[in-house]
Structure 1
Amino acid sequence: MASSFYPVRENEAQRVDALCDLKILDTQPEPEFEAVARLAQSMFNVPIALVCLLDKDRQWFKARCGLDVTETVRSEAFCNYPVALNVPFVVNDTWLDDRFIANELVTGSPHIRFYAGVPVSLQQGLPLGTICVIDREPRRFSDDDIRKLEDLALVVRSLYEQREKANQIVALMETQAQQTVLIKQQMLEISRQNRVFEQASKLAKIGAWEINPVTGDLVWTKGMYDIHGMSNTVPVDPEDIYNLYPPAVRKKLQKEIEKSNANLTGYTFEGPVILADGQRRWMRVSCEVEVEDGVIVRRYGMKQDITEQRELWDQTQFLATRDSLTGLSNRYVLRTSLDEAVLSPGGAGLRALFMIDLDGFKHVNDSFGHQAGDHILKTMGRRLRRCCRKSDIVARLGGDEFAILMSNVTDHAEFEAIARRLVSEFRKPVTWRSQSFQLSASVGLRIWNGSEAADADDVLSEADLALYAAKDSGKNTYHVYTPKMKSVAKRRIETVIGVATALNKDKLELFYQPKVALSTGAHVGFEALLRLRKADGSVTAPGEFEAALNDPELSRRIGTFVIDEAIRQAAEWRANSLAFGHIAVNLSGSEFQNDAFVHETVRKLQTAGLPPQSLEIEITERVFLNEDSDKVLSALKALKAAGVRIALDDFGTGFASLSHLRTFPVDVIKIDRTFVNGCLRRPDDNAIVQAILLLARVMELDVVAEGIEQEDELTALKSYGCGYGQGYLFSHPLPQTEAQLWLRALTTQRDVA
């Protein structure tokens, strides 16, 4: 709730009137004010910096960095205090200050914990507002910090004075518009004052000068002597000052002076000078002229040492256009260049946008820290630059995302050659300290003809679709955008939405395929298989909605549903004394991103009164190859320690299977149906099946053969010593009711026996 009390000055009405007279409230942002706010933000390393004006019932921000709103109610304004007291005001920790602990700007956005503000006045005793800095963490603010903030307040005050002076000039012009006798003289004076004033505001001039072009007499203020490091007792020769500029710079200045003489106009010039003590400083000189009868009779202006400003400007320009880590262009430059490329068709050849993702970076960054991650990003940035021309825009978009914008290429093949080179460069190892990291890149490529107009947003999204296709095809490759990708993406989105809707409406269910002991034919358990029930009553298998299983968040929700439903069904069968054995569920990598997954799964088994061996977790090698394999390994070890069995599904179809068997806590190997179905027809498949069975015996692992459909397959597998199997030879996947009948039939057979 907003506070009803805040301090105000005794002359508050006069103060508000002075603010209104300035005619600054609700004006558009101005670069000078914004620059001061950015400087304050950078100088004090805070997330928020504001140039604030206190109106009657609100505080309004003339400039703001790090804050989305343009105003707040007056009752919540911290700036009430420095304005009311007319002194710097600091709150090191709002949580420890009874005046602010319940303030809505503390309890809510932007969650102020620290505030420092300095009043800004135009007239003595009439502060109009403040310049303030804000942090979301408590901090200390030294006396030196306060002096720096006061210096910035003086800059803001000078900007207010500029506006006041401009208002006065406008008022003077309006008042004297009808005074035709003096209009020429007044307009000349106002114009000169306005130009000098604008220069003073824009350039923050320190010294003023005046010269008579006819006599060469030069007049300097003390500030001019100061910035040149000269004593004001020394006569000033214009030629000596001119020669302070290096020869190349003098030529440019001479051209400006000649242009001024020819056009009877002033000029502004910036350039370095070498002072008498050897210092190299940047100077900005502005010149205005007075002309009588077509002849310049007077030159005057201001001169400023802008060395620090120049350095700050160079740094600001770098930060505004460059990625600070890699030195590549940033997202802003890429988007600006892309907008220009698509909105300005023409030029020879083709254009292309490359979108590049660094595969495997997250795992390295999480495992070895940001120093290793930063080293990799800088290395990859240099490799990207080497693959491109100087004219190409090479950008880091953020994280491990990069982009390249190329123009004027003759054919598609050249772009694809560059894409292949990028993939090859990213595949090279990166060495950091004693570590060597093997990463890869996925590249999406959108090519268009430079003579045709295009839409920047479309180009970006289409390059992203190509990137998605590259990642979906196994990463470490590139794909060029085709229109088909858009329709595929649309179907993928529709599939994800459809499955999410089905999950919310209880249209997903589990079918159960029996697993048997091959030597006896005895039932040992089920594999739970996900099915989607359509409106017409038919069901579809996961192959038809695989896109939904590839969506991390939806896949996690589906995994939770599968485990919950399997445990519920197992508990029901156990309560009905039906010996179901165990239920195996298939999980993706998404479930393992939840740090509480193991704890929640074990708790659910305990709550249902089920022994842990009632549940078997099946995972594929794709889960092992996930970037977060360390997290997966930790979770699987914890599950096994709790008594849950782990099965490696589709064994032999992926990569590095043997190393996974050694590293991961596997209890069961499942031979993929492709090997089972081919073991009697193809010698290679037969050899693979027997090799897997031999390996399992050595490692004391159970083996389940999937997809057994023929008697001769069963006979062969039994002769090879395979322990367990499943497939259409024994039973199709069964809905819950039929699976229950299956179990009851088995129970009856055992009772009869």
Structure 2
Amino acid sequence: MKKAPLPENEAERLKVLHSYNILDTLPELSFDDITRLASQISGTPIALISLVDSERQWFKSKFGLSATETPRNISFCAHAILEKDVLVVPDTLEDARFFDNPLVTGEEKIRFYAGSPLVTAKGAALGTLCVIDQTPRSLNELQVESLRALARQVMNQLELRMYIEEQEQLKSDLVAYQKILEEANSRLETASLSDDVSGFHNTRFLHSFLERFLEPAQHEERELSLVFFDMDNFKNVVDTHGHLVGTEVLREIAQAVYQQLGPEDRIVRYGGDEYVIILPGQGKDVAHIKAKQMCLGIRNTIFMQGKGLNLKLTASFGLATYPDDASDMHHLLAEADKCLFTSKENGKNRLTVK
């Protein structure tokens, strides 16, 4: 038995073969149709689509044969992939390469073989479309040309299969990338609506929230209250203890107020030491009670205890309600701010209601 030498491009050939992800896959009708047709055209009982791997030949499709693979070193197809055209062996017993091959002398009793190489556009021979018989025979020119044509169709199917697989992978990648992008955008959106100092919302969030809330509210008659508050004499804290302490105090104040809010309420740092509390769906009476509790809560809290400063602070509050006090977002903000200013003017540490 003469073992087939390796192709000169064997390493690249195997790399290309494996890139098709075809080895050890399930049977597919598109390939089985080709082997059935090859058997009918050639008049042979066996037809195979054989892919030559490093140590074996594996059958993607088989007609008239139960085996799924054989060792490469006894493979007829390992010889056929070295050819430029169809390899035809009319009688294996009269061919020096095959007369003592186990597939010839064993129970398979192969006496006739014809294999057309499966060649990629770049010249890599992946395997063959072959037809086999247990009696010597020959193929006429029409049958040989048909075998060539069917081999090209096998390659077309392999290319189509790879294309579909690549498109599915691309689609999967795009879905994954889209998810990553959405998560990144969500984080960016959250960051763009957050205040670095307090850790709560910023004015961009305030305006966005009010625009979304007040538009349908005109039809649904929903109420919304805004509570503005500003720390009294906060400049003294910064001048005495520095900006870092001032920033930490602002965080502690926001946390203290946040503890008194409901799940739908929102706290916004409006700028400097001024905050806005959004109370959606809450009229003036409920908002009035909440604002008074916030004012008392700040007054009764000792801040910066962890730093040993034990600061006692107060804040001035202003309250306005939609739609009682204003017909749109801008007027509502202005009215609540005016009430805050009134509290400052009247001695601080108090709440003014529109």
> What TM-score do the two structures reach when normalised by structure 1?
0.23
Q: Which has the higher contact order (CA 8 A, sep 6+)?
A: 2
Whose radius of gyration is greater, 1 or 2?
2
> What TM-score do the two structures reach when normalised by structure 2?
0.49
